[in-house]
Amino acid sequence: MNAAAAARASMIRESMYQVPVIPRAPVPPLPNGRNIAPRRAGDNSNDGYPTYDEEYGQQSPRRPIQVVDYMSYKVQCELERQRAAAAVDLYKNSNASGDSLGKPPAKFYVEIEEGGRGRVVRMFTVFPVRDINWVVTVMFVFGSASFVTSASFGLVPVLFPALAFPEIGTLAVPGFLAAGSFTFAIAGVLGMIGAFNANRGTVEVQKDGVATYRPALIGSESWVWAPTKEEFAALFKSIPFPASLVSWISGLFFLVATISNLPGVMDKTLPAWKILVPTQQVIGGILLFLANVSVIFVIQEKWYKPKLTSPDWLGTFLNIVGSTGFALIGFLTLAGDSNGPGFTYWYGAMAFFIGSVIGLYGLMEFHPTAWAA
C-alpha cells in the first residue's frame, strides 16, 4: 500500500484545470488552398501544450496546474515567520532551496501520460528510480509476487497431491513468505519517507520559459529524509502519513508471524505459537485494512461515491481485499481450520499483487518520459 503516491496523485489532479479554448473566427485560405493562420492551442499536436516523446513516439500532454495545498502552506509560513523566530527556520528549511517551490510561477505544467497503452509501455521501459513512490510500488509488486508464489506452493499438496515434493513445506512456502514479508517491511519504511515529501516538488524552467512541475526526487534540494518537528506534527494531521505508519506497523506484525512460523523456530503445539503467529496475522490484517480504508477515502471525491475508473482507487480497494485475506489466515488458524488458511492466503496475496500492479500503472501517469530515471 503506497499512501504517499495516492496522496501526491490526488493533490496534483485536484490542482489541474483545463486551458479554456478561446473562440475565434476562421481565417480564409489562400487561393492555392493553403492556410497561413498561426497555429494556436488546440489546433494540433504542435502547439505549445502537448509535447512529443521521441523515444516512444507518443504524446505526453501537459496541463497547467496550481498546487493549492502548497501555496496555502507557504502563506501560513509567511505569517508564522512574522510571529516567531522558530518559524523562520522552518520557512528556510522548507522553501529556501534552489529547486523547491519557494518562488513558484502562478501557472506551470505537469507532464502526464493519459493513454493506457502508453502507461503500460512505460511500466517496462521507464524506470524512475529517483522517485521513491515508484521504488515503493515496485517493492510491493515483488513482495506480493513472493506471497503469491508461496501461497501457490502451499496449495499444491491440497489440489495436486501428485505434484507435491518434500521441500514444499520446509523451503518453498516459508522461503517466499519470508522474502515477501521482509520486502513489505522495508517498503513500509520507504513509504513513510515518501509521505514526508508528498507535498514537495520542483519546478523546472525550460529555455522557452515554460515551467514544468516535478514531484520531489531522491537527492534533490526539495527532498527531505526527515521532517522538522513542526512539519512532523503537521503530518499527523493529514491522512497519508498516519496511513503509511499504520501500514508499516502491520508489516511488522506480519514479519513477527513469519519469523516465528519458520521451520524449526517454534513448536506449533506451544501456547505461545498462537500468540506469535495467528494472532499477529489477525492484528496485522486489521491494521492494514484500516490503513487502506483511510486512503481510499482520500482518493474518492465523496466518501460515499467509489471512483471505479481511478487506478489508484482500484489498487487501494484490492489492497483492502488482500488485507482481509491475510486477517482471515489468522482467524481460521485459531479456529482450527487446516485448509482454509491456504486458500485465504492465496486470494489475499493475489489481491495484493494485482493491486500493486494497478498502482504501478497509475503511477506511470506522471512519468511520460525518463526524467526521474
Range among 73-82, 109-118, 328-337 rated most confident: 328-337
The pLDDT value recorded for residue 108 is 46
290/98 Cα distance (integer angstroms): 39
Residue 232 pLDDT greater than 80, yes or no: yes
Edge-to-edge strands, sheet with 201-205: 62-65, 108-111, 211-215, 201-205
What is the biggest distance separating any 2 CA atoms in the chain, rounded to whole angstroms?
94
The pLDDT value recorded for residue 99 is 40
Kindly state the average pLDDT of the residues 333-337: 93
The pLDDT value recorded for residue 233 is 87
Residue 138 pLDDT greater than 80, yes or no: yes
Q: What does the mean pLDDT of the chain come to?
A: 77
Look at 101-110, 121-130, 353-362 and tell me which has the smallest mean pLDDT: 101-110
SS3 159: helix
pLDDT in tens, 339-353: 899 999 999 999 999
The pLDDT value recorded for residue 116 is 79
Alpha-helical regions (H) of the chain: 3-15, 68-83, 85-95, 116-125, 132-159, 167, 173-196, 229-235, 240-260, 271-276, 278-299, 311-334, 340-363
Residue 7 pLDDT greater than 70, yes or no: no
The pLDDT value recorded for residue 32 is 52
How large is the C-alpha radius of gyration of the chain? 25
pLDDT in tens, 179-219: 999 999 999 999 889 888 877 776 666 666 555 666 788 88
pLDDT in tens, 38-93: 444 444 444 444 443 444 444 444 444 443 344 444 445 555 555 554 444 443 44
pLDDT in tens, 261-290: 999 999 989 999 999 999 999 999 999 999
Kindly state the average pLDDT of the residues 308-331: 94
Using DSSP bridges, classify how beta strands 58-60 and 201-205 pair: parallel, antiparallel or unpaired: unpaired
Contact criterion met (CB below 8 Å) for 44 and 53: no
* pTM exceeds 0.85: no
User: Exposed/middle/buried for 347, CB within 10 Å: 0-12, 13-18, 19+?
Assistant: middle
